[in-house]
Structure 1
Amino acid sequence: MADQFFRETRRLVFGPLVLLVAATAVFSYFLGDAPNLLFLKLTAVPLYLLAGRAISMLCPLPNGNQLNLVFWERQFLDALLLSCWLTIAIWQPDNSAVTVARGFFLFIALYLGLMFLLRVIFRARKSQHG
């Protein structure tokens, strides 16, 4: 029984890591990245997953459908973390600093806007159904 639990736990811990590493490798390969750049990008995946777990432990998502400071803090941290990982994953040596920074901040704004829109839609549906 305990052995089965540990197998399930390992799948939950290492499954997303393996999938994200594979997706990043395939994406980087199609970008035409050199092997050393591909390896560098893959080293960001475990850091991304560890930071995501830390954010979940330190700032859990609030229950309910309020758009309070706790909700926005968590959404901003998620957007920041995801934007950091995406910046590393799609970075190319010939990109200028302005281009990289613009993409970084644009993604954060898009993510926050999308989360706001989804929360509003979720609240509207929940209020219609009781």
Structure 2
Amino acid sequence: MGEFWPVPDTLAFLAGTWRVERSVRDLASGTEGRFEGTTVFGPLDGGGLLHEESGTFVWHGVPRPAERTLRFLPGRRPGTADVTFADGRPFHDLDLTSGRHVTDHPCVADLYRGEFTVRDADRWRTLWRVRGPAKDLVLSTGYMREA
């Protein structure tokens, strides 16, 4: 399947600065939003990467500043990563060695299912499908490496 770009080392691939564009669709209400900004994967004390995302999220036509921080730690297998929230709670695993990875994150009664695909050395994307009693969302994010 030539549409995926295998990555020998997930953390090495992600390191650096990425331009981010995310669409958010609430399937229950039909509302759509958009995030545009930057994600920086910088060195983390003790190994791994600190993911710092910042930009503008537009929801119901109202732009607001938005940011989030995650930690990408060396995974259990070479070339993989374990992603945690900033406070250390587990989020999901990440293995881009084949160029594609699917993972789940249960959040209270909702289930987040993420699909990660690497397109080439400078582009990757995520697609999160969120289903449950509280949410019915699709979040699609494109990342493009900044020079």
Higher relative contact order (CA 8 A, sep 6+): 2
TM-score normalised over the length of structure 1: 0.25
Q: State the structure with more CA Rg.
A: 1
Higher helix share: 1
TM-score normalised over the length of structure 2: 0.23
Higher strand share: 2
